[in-house]
Structure 1
Amino acid sequence: MKKKIKCFNSIKELIFNYKFFISKEIKIKGWVKHFRYNCFIIINDGSTINNLQIFIDQKFDSLVKKINIGISIEVIGVLVLSKGKEQNIEIYANKIKIIGKFAPEELQKTILQPKTHSFKKLREQAYLRFRTSIFSSIMRIRHNISFSIHKFFFQKNFIYINTPIITTYDSEGAGEMFRVTNFDLKKIPLNEKGELNNNLDFFGTSTYLTVSGQLQGEAAASGLGKIYTFGPTFRAEKSNTFRHLSEFWMIEPEMSFSKLVHNMNIAEKLLKYVIKFVINNSYEDLFFLEKKNKIKIFKRLNNVLESSFERISYTNAIKILKYSKNGEFLQSINWGEDLKSEHEKFLAENYFNNPIIIYNYPLKIKPFYMRINNDNKTVAAMDIIFPYIGEIIGGSQREERYNVLLKRILELNLNIKSLWWYLNIRRFGSVPQSGFGLGFERLIQYITNIDNIKDVIPFPRYPNHAYF
């Protein structure tokens, strides 16, 4: 009778269930991470930060010469408790099969060597960095953050929808969007005035990659009640800072029958839910990052869970800044001016030492769709600011009054031809509605304590960089 061998789908599964399979023959697959003392092969399959140690004896000497770092192998052997301190279990190999191919002469040109590389160096070979311990750890955390967001909204009875990536309007008013066209750039059609003839473009008008799914989300919420989107957004801003990407992901809920206070409550609950979920489900990866970066990640995350976000009006924020004793730059800001990152940093990190929600911003510095307050000077807007990372959520109660919204659009000289359908959401019946946008990568940055936003997304896109 043929001996039964237990095959595991992942090293994580094996580690979790190892007590049931001690002294039994098993089969596992993975990539070679490195060798130890010429008698151990260390493998990993990406399912966990933990590696699996394979003990090999002299009968594998000829085979070992063919194995390089990064090559994939299949191992059949007996699972035993390890005598070493670095792992609980290991496998005494009976059979080893090389699965993948590898070009040995290319080894020195990769980032797969068992040594520390800078994040900048890892970006140069972004297609390989998934195989490194630190980046695979970040990606597993990213996965759990994503899953927890969907789970939160599912439990709150939100409906998940997909909004267009191609749009005709800049909902943020930044004016820095990627143009989408199928024009032959060598034969661009012009009209009688010598201007670009957008009527001949694919959609019969000028189109762009979206900066937000909010406007379409509002249309969906006006019939479905509570919705959320989770998709890619784009900015053509030529900025190459640690906080900017040209392509990034946004979570954007929209809620009918909802005012600003409810909007702030949901946003705070979402962030705390995600952080708690990640602590519980990404403990090993967070512990690895904490140990590697020598920063108290768990303490910082638990502080968020244990405290209420400080809520402060824009007006009071300005007063705090003007009366602070932290330099002329902070004091020089006047009411009506937009807060800079340094102002937000001071308030969240130094003054409150806590996440904060700033609300009721001046009308003149916010987009047209935000509801005007009774003072006619401010709008029902809110931003959530986290220490060390800055703005992580921006949102507002939406202007549901048709005449007020129309007047605002005309005052700002916006393209009403592109917004006719948005106005009609109010024209055919409206309710108080609110929503916000959560920057997915910035949230990952905060949770993982990774400084550069380019290192928390699989394939970063930024000025002069669209490789891989």
Structure 2
Amino acid sequence: MKQRINLLMKEQPAGQKVQVDGWVRTRRDTGSFSFLELNDGSCLGNLQLIADKELENYESEIKNLTTGCSISVEGELRESPAKGQKVELHCTKVQVVGWSEPETYPLQKKRHSFEFLRDMSHLRPRTNALGAVSRVRSRLSFGIHRFFNERGFHQVHTPIITTSDCEGAGEMFQVMTVEESAGNVKPEDAFFGKTAGLTVSGQLQAEVYALALGNVYTFGPTFRAENSHTSRHLAEFWMIEPEMAFCDLECNMQLAEDMLKFVLADILENCGEDMVLFDKFIEKGIIAKLKGVIEKDFAHITYTEAVENLLAAKQKFEFPVEWGIDLQSEHERYLSEELYKCPLIVTDYPASIKPFYMRVNEDGKTVAAMDILVPGIGEIVGGSQREERYDILKERMVAAGIEIDEYEWYLDLRKYGTVPHSGFGLGFERLVQFATGMANIREVIPFPRTPGSAPC
């Protein structure tokens, strides 16, 4: 039976007969045999192969193997005399599955810049750093599902094509047929019968199911037509959005903190080799940083306190600070990195800068909102208690210029058994960034979509 290299290096005893597949990283010849380094993507480390010159295809094929060639190998595991590896595979058969052109293969044995690799999305996951990011991303995804499953949440698949703009920022990609885009179809005869776009959030639909099933979450792609070229923004990204019935802001904040600690602890336990790479080459001290997040309670301040802290700071900011502004990334990072030096939950933002669905506080000026700010990233989680009072919600929707007729279904949730409920959104790519230390968000998603760029 074929084996994966990560399991061979951990569990298989010497003397075991195994078969492995993978891609050649390097080949080094001696007088009577060749050393081959094989990687199958299951882990950072390579498996060392010993290919003896007595193999029938040694001269014709094995000695012509180059970086990138794919091979299937049979052999016997033996204890390795070399440092840094427990076992090596002595080959009894090496079959070449696919050759790689050495003259044109761009990923030679040297370090490549992330900018260079971004131009070849089809090959970059073969590199150590991007392969490690992919494995950590996969484990984080598994951890998210496990976290909610163990707490009795139900996953809801909210629509990718929607007729509601949750954030109301006008940054939706419109969805239409070729005939519609040519202007040959009347609005009432459009494919969906009305204007539709790619979702910016599954929150509103998740609320529908939270008020029927209790606790639910969504985990899917979202899209924003924001013409931003920063290292923090993507046009297509993934969001985790839980919604909880009978849950206020305090309950919401605790769940978000618990979730972050759970998934970060999980990757430290299960992605140790990859995390060492990030700690050594990407962000020195990242393992200690993540342990600090896991072990300490998050700090809590209100938006008003945050503004007071920023106004009192000796540091100069590019964007001016005053009560009523939306905090910028530089403000968020100062608070979490310089002032509190830990993850920070900021609550009770001005109603004027937050969406219509957030619950208005008793002061009438602020809403029961919360953002979690982390060092190196800034905002990683944004959430709120939702407005469950029909009259107040409708009043805010009118003030925001929302077509009430289009959202009658949302208001109905406040007419038929309304309850306090809350939820948050976690940008998955920002979580992967925080966990790996990668500076640019384009490096933590397999196929980044940004203004002017959609490879593969």
The verdict on a shared fold, with TM-score over 0.5 as the criterion, is yes
Residues 65 and 99, structure 2, Cα contact 8 Å, conserved in 1: no
Q: Aligned partners of 2:37 and 2:317: how far apart in 1?
A: 56
Structure 1 partner of 2:123: 128
Give the partner amino acid of 1:451: A
Moved more, 138-147 or 34-43: 34-43
For the pair 1:14 / 2:2, whether they are aligned, the reply is no
Q: Aligned partners of 1:460 and 1:111: how far apart in 2?
A: 20
For the pair 1:402 / 2:394, whether they are aligned, the reply is no
Residues 254 and 436, structure 1, Cα contact 8 Å, conserved in 2: yes
Cα 1:328–1:128, aligned 2, differ >3 Å: closer, same or farther?
A: closer
Q: Aligned partners of 1:293 and 1:369: how far apart in 2?
A: 39
Q: How does 1:286-297 map to 2 (within 5 A)?
A: 286-293=275-282, 295-297=284-286
Q: Aligned partners of 1:36 and 1:463: how far apart in 2?
A: 44
Note the C-alpha offset of 1:391. Answer: 0.5
For the pair 1:447 / 2:429, whether they are aligned, the reply is no
Structure 1 partner of 2:330: 342
Match of 2:420 among 417, 425, 432: 432
Structure 2 partner of 1:54: 49
Identity %: 46
Structure 2 partner of 1:82: 80
Moved more, 402-411 or 62-71: 62-71
| SS of the residue 1:427 aligns to | coil
Residues 260 and 381, structure 1, Cα contact 8 Å, conserved in 2: yes
Q: How does 1:219-230 map to 2 (within 5 A)?
A: 219-230=208-219
Q: Could you list the runs of 4 or more consecutive aligned residues of structure 1 that deviate by over 6 angstroms after TM superposition?
A: none
Cα 1:439–1:70, aligned 2, differ >3 Å: closer, same or farther?
A: same
Match of 2:173 among 173, 178, 188: 178
Match of 1:302 among 291, 294, 300: 291
Q: Aligned partners of 1:211 and 1:97: how far apart in 2?
A: 48
Matched residue count:
450
Note the C-alpha offset of 1:111. Answer: 3.3
Q: Aligned partners of 2:393 and 2:221: how far apart in 1?
A: 27
Q: Aligned partners of 1:454 and 1:327: how far apart in 2?
A: 29
Structure 2 partner of 1:27: 19
For the pair 1:141 / 2:136, whether they are aligned, the reply is yes
Q: How does 1:103-122 map to 2 (within 5 A)?
A: 104=101, 107-122=102-117
Structure 1 partner of 2:374: 386
Structure 2 partner of 1:414: 402
Residues 231 and 250, structure 1, Cα contact 8 Å, conserved in 2: yes
TM-score by length of 2: 0.96
Q: Structure 2: give runs of 5+ residues left out of the alignment.
A: none
Q: Aligned partners of 1:186 and 1:302: how far apart in 2?
A: 51
Residues 162 and 199, structure 2, Cα contact 8 Å, conserved in 1: yes
Match of 2:94 among 89, 93, 96: 96
Give the partner amino acid of 1:342: E
Q: Aligned partners of 1:219 and 1:18: how far apart in 2?
A: 49
Give the partner amino acid of 1:148: G
Cα 1:235–1:328, aligned 2, differ >3 Å: closer, same or farther?
A: closer
For the pair 1:372 / 2:360, whether they are aligned, the reply is yes
Residues 227 and 451, structure 2, Cα contact 8 Å, conserved in 1: yes
Moved more, 87-96 or 362-371: 87-96
Structure 2 partner of 1:70: 68
Q: Structure 1: give runs of 5+ residues left out of the alignment.
A: 1-6, 191-196
Note the C-alpha offset of 1:35. Answer: 1.4
Give the partner amino acid of 1:25: K
Match of 1:162 among 148, 154, 157: 157
Structure 2 partner of 1:267: 256
Moved more, 453-462 or 284-293: 284-293
Match of 1:282 among 250, 254, 271: 271
Cα 1:290–1:37, aligned 2, differ >3 Å: closer, same or farther?
A: farther
Residues 248 and 440, structure 1, Cα contact 8 Å, conserved in 2: yes
